Amino acid sequence: MNLSISGRHLEVTPSIHAYVKNKMSRIARHFDNVIDTQVMLSIERLKHTAEITMRLRGKDIHCEATDENLYAAIDLLADKIDRQVIKYKSRVQAHAHEPAKRQEIPAE
């Protein structure tokens, strides 16, 4: 999984980078077909925002979480993206196991 972390009005310290990487590794346990992940962290007055765009095969997933604390926003973001990845994985697996529909030709 290619992970890029950037900050808007924020310097991404090694501790923040390690924290985000640790939280995103949870997704790799559920689903290993992640192509690219981009995390954007931003700080405004009393509003810390964490956004993620995750590219999967055939789909892009985007989530955003806001909190007064940056680490809490990252935790909320990890929970949201985890739920969406599990939902996507279950859809892909459900469609893969459906039998092919047979097309019947009407009798004349």
Q: Is the pLDDT of residue 72 over 80?
A: yes
Q: What is the rounded distance in angstroms from the CA atom of residue 43 to the CA atom of residue 66?
A: 10
Q: Is the torsion defined by CA of 13, 28, 34, 79 positive or negative?
A: negative
Counting the structural domains of the chain, the total is: 1
Q: What is the rounded distance in angstroms from the CA atom of residue 92 to the CA atom of residue 41?
A: 30
- Which of 29-38, 53-62, 85-94 has the highest average model confidence (pLDDT)? 53-62
Query: What CATH number does residue 48 fall under?
Result: 3.30.160.100
- Domain enclosing residue 82, as ranges: 2-96
Q: Are 88 and 58 in contact (CB under 8 A)?
A: no
In a domain, 71, yes or no: yes
The residues pairing with 4 across neighbouring beta strands, listed in sequence order, are 38
In a domain, 67, yes or no: yes
Q: Are 72 and 90 in contact (CB under 8 A)?
A: no
Residue 7 pLDDT class (50, 70, 90 cuts):
very high
Q: Are 63 and 52 in contact (CB under 8 A)?
A: yes
Residue 100 pLDDT class (50, 70, 90 cuts):
low
Strand 59-67 and strand 47-56: the pairing is antiparallel
- Give, as one character, the DSSP assignment of residue 58: T
Collapsing DSSP states into helix, strand and coil, what is residue 19? Answer: helix
In a domain, 77, yes or no: yes
In a domain, 62, yes or no: yes
